[in-house]
Structure 1
């Protein structure tokens, strides 16, 4: 498991952070019991601060049950609410909430508080100490911390339950993947000018690397792959990309050897991580699909405002891809030798995966389709000029077939004003006039 996979697994699992907090609660119990049993801290305190055994036992036993009840009640209530919420918008929202640092730290504090109370209650002994100080004081402080954390958690959950906040978090996650996968990991090795590798694109006898098991391609270690292909002096072509589902024995890569040297295919198998589900570690399209799913579910629930918000968040992600990515499917090594051939992905591909499904489900909704054109226009203002044509053509496809759906004159005006703004931004005014002429015929 790579460092990125390990970090993702730790973040997406609910048990890791609470285990750390419980470990610190054990240390705290050890410190408190040592202070009261070995050093008899309670006997050396003034009477106003010393707590006798009966009161300490009553306090700790009460707080043990109260802390467990508070923890159980809080997370049971939240999971019920989020199950309903995720059913309305996206089932992946629940996972994002559970994986958030705030949620994990809250559960860690609750769990640590309970274990502190439980262990303190277990080791209380009247024969070893008549008066206590550290155990009851720390128990009271832990209980106060748990109550404060409860208030914070309710505020955190209420804020997170707002759909705008959820879509904003999804957008941030997608932008981080764009930066990590495209801009930092792959783009430095992309061939910017294909003419520089003329004659290096291989032909002839091919060797195939087959998948060892079925599942989704979750991660590909591109940097190590370039280093290995340089050592073996081969060119490798990936037959599938991250997020694709493959069967066992499916050819996932093809390579060409320049000599008779033997290639250890197990090395290249280890560079592919295949699992039962898609993950967000490198899969940009999977993160985009979360926002798409929210928009589509919102349309189905007659909530156009939420759908519009998801559209704008999605537009920002796509604009970031256009500005930062180099759309070339050739990767080279430090010596400018072709080493890896990727699946062809351009801005059209991401644009369709982002807005294509939404356009399909909003085809009878003039208002939402107008918002799609507005988002495309806003995107075009910050896109690379290379992608103007793709955005304009998508806008035209969105506009087709709406002549019979305008209920009011204002619908017509708003829709074609948005299309005209898009034409101006992408410098397709002439094509806009031609589109209107065709519509009149």
Structure 2
């Protein structure tokens, strides 16, 4: 498992942060018991500061049960959030709530507090220490912290359940994947001048490497693969891309050798992570699809406002991809030699995955479809000019399916005004006039 996969796995699990907090609770227990048993801190305090054995036992015992109850209630609240999100939005969004640092820290504080109370209660000894100070004081402070944390968690759950905040967090996650995967890892190695590439010789039959197991391609270590291909002096073509499902024995790599050196095929297989489920580590489409599912569910629940909000979030992601990405499927090494041929991905691909499914499910909803056209027009102000044609054609095809769905004159005006704005922004005024003339016939 690579460092990125390990980091993602740790972040998306509930157990890691609580384990760290429990470890620190053990240290607090050690400090408190040492202060009271070995140094008899309570005897050196003024009488109104020290606490006798019976009061300490009652305090710690009561707080142990109270914090356990509070922790149980918190877990029940998390399950309630999970159920709500699964039914109303998308089950794939649950990981976002689990991966939230606030959620993990809350559970860490509750779990560590319970262990502190439990261990202190276990080691209380009337014969060894008649008067206590550190144990009850720490217990009181930890109980107050737990109560404050519980109030914070209620507020956190309520805020996270708000659709605007939820979709905003998902958009930030998608933008971070765009930056880490496209901008920082892949794009620096892409061939920018395609006229310098002659890939005719790589369209012939090459040697293939087959997958050893079935699953989704979660991650590809492009940088290491380029370095290894440079050492072996080979050119690699990836037959599938991140997010695709492959079967065992499916050829996933084709390579061409420039020498007679024996190639360690397992080395290249180890650079491709195939697991049983999709993740967002490098999969931009998967992170976009989570937003798409929210929009589709919102349309089905007659919630156009949520659908519109999601459409704008997707639009910002697509605009970022257009501005920052180099849509080339060729990766070169530091000597400017071709090393990896990727599956072709252009802006049309991401545009379809972002709005294609929403357009299909909203085909009878003029309001949502009008918002799609408006978002396309807004996106066009931020897009790379090479993608104007793709956005205009997508908007035109969307408009072509709505000639018979207008119930009111205002629907007609709003829709075609948005399409006109899109034509002006993408410099397709002539095509819009032709479309309008054909429609009036």
The question of whether the paired residues in 2 share the 8 Å contact of 1:200 and 1:338 is answered with: no
Could you tell me how far apart the structure 1 residues matched to 2:199 and 2:72 are? 66
Could you tell me how far apart the structure 1 residues matched to 2:333 and 2:95 are? 38
> Secondary structure in 2 aligned to 1:202?
helix
- State the Cα distance separating 1:85 from its structure 2 match: 2.6
1:83 aligns with 2:83: yes
- State the Cα distance separating 1:87 from its structure 2 match: 1.3
- State the Cα distance separating 1:94 from its structure 2 match: 1.6
Q: Please list the CA deviations of residues 160-201 of structure 1 after superposition, one character each: whole Å capped at 9, or x if unmatched.
A: 000111100100000000000000000000001112233685
- State the Cα distance separating 1:204 from its structure 2 match: 4.1
Relative to 1, partners in 2 of residues 1:433 and 1:90: Cα closer, same or farther, differing over 3 Å? same
Alignment correspondent of 1:206:
206
- State the Cα distance separating 1:205 from its structure 2 match: 4.3
Alignment correspondent of 1:192:
192
Alignment correspondent of 2:22:
22
> Secondary structure in 1 aligned to 2:202?
coil
- State the Cα distance separating 1:203 from its structure 2 match: 4.8
Q: Please list the CA deviations of residues 408-431 of structure 1 after superposition, one character each: whole Å capped at 9, or x if unmatched.
A: 110000000000000000000000
> Secondary structure in 2 aligned to 1:219?
strand
Relative to 1, partners in 2 of residues 1:32 and 1:205: Cα closer, same or farther, differing over 3 Å? same
Alignment correspondent of 2:59:
59
Q: Please list the CA deviations of residues 65-96 of structure 1 after superposition, one character each: whole Å capped at 9, or x if unmatched.
A: 00000010122023113312331111122211
Could you tell me how far apart the structure 2 residues matched to 1:346 and 1:210 are? 26
Alignment correspondent of 2:282:
282
Could you tell me how far apart the structure 1 residues matched to 2:146 and 2:396 are? 56
Could you tell me how far apart the structure 2 residues matched to 1:269 and 1:356 are? 33
Alignment correspondent of 1:430:
430
* Aligned ranges 1:226-305 → 2 under 5 Å: 226-305=226-305
Runs of 4 or more, structure 1, over 2 Å off, are 197-205
Could you tell me how far apart the structure 1 residues matched to 2:230 and 2:95 are? 39
Q: Please list the CA deviations of residues 18-50 of structure 1 after superposition, one character each: whole Å capped at 9, or x if unmatched.
A: 000000000000000000000000111101000
Q: Please list the CA deviations of residues 360-404 of structure 1 after superposition, one character each: whole Å capped at 9, or x if unmatched.
A: 000000010000000001100100000000000000011013222
Alignment correspondent of 1:133:
133
Could you tell me how far apart the structure 1 residues matched to 2:434 and 2:406 are? 20
Could you tell me how far apart the structure 1 residues matched to 2:98 and 2:141 are? 26
Alignment correspondent of 2:151:
151
Relative to 1, partners in 2 of residues 1:6 and 1:437: Cα closer, same or farther, differing over 3 Å? same
The question of whether the paired residues in 2 share the 8 Å contact of 1:97 and 1:103 is answered with: yes
Comparing 202-211 with 136-145, which one deviates more in the overlay?
A: 202-211
* Aligned ranges 1:88-127 → 2 under 5 Å: 88-127=88-127
Alignment correspondent of 1:391:
391
Alignment correspondent of 1:44:
44
> Secondary structure in 2 aligned to 1:218?
strand
Could you tell me how far apart the structure 2 residues matched to 1:199 and 1:219 are? 25
Q: TM-score, normalised by structure 1?
A: 0.99
Alignment correspondent of 1:161:
161
Q: TM-score, normalised by structure 2?
A: 0.99
> Secondary structure in 2 aligned to 1:33?
helix
Alignment correspondent of 2:68:
68
Could you tell me how far apart the structure 1 residues matched to 2:66 and 2:170 are? 35
Could you tell me how far apart the structure 1 residues matched to 2:128 and 2:191 are? 75
The question of whether the paired residues in 2 share the 8 Å contact of 1:201 and 1:338 is answered with: no
> Secondary structure in 2 aligned to 1:208?
strand
Alignment correspondent of 2:31:
31
Could you tell me how far apart the structure 2 residues matched to 1:77 and 1:205 are? 57
5+ residue gaps, structure 1? none
Could you tell me how far apart the structure 2 residues matched to 1:82 and 1:204 are? 50
1:215 aligns with 2:215: yes
The question of whether the paired residues in 2 share the 8 Å contact of 1:322 and 1:384 is answered with: yes
Could you tell me how far apart the structure 2 residues matched to 1:220 and 1:253 are? 12
Aligned-residue CA RMSD (Å): 0.9
The question of whether the paired residues in 2 share the 8 Å contact of 1:93 and 1:166 is answered with: no
- State the Cα distance separating 1:405 from its structure 2 match: 1.1
Could you tell me how far apart the structure 2 residues matched to 1:89 and 1:288 are? 14
Q: How many residues align?
A: 441
5+ residue gaps, structure 2? none
Comparing 398-407 with 176-185, which one deviates more in the overlay?
A: 398-407
> Secondary structure in 1 aligned to 2:224?
helix
Could you tell me how far apart the structure 2 residues matched to 1:175 and 1:29 are? 43
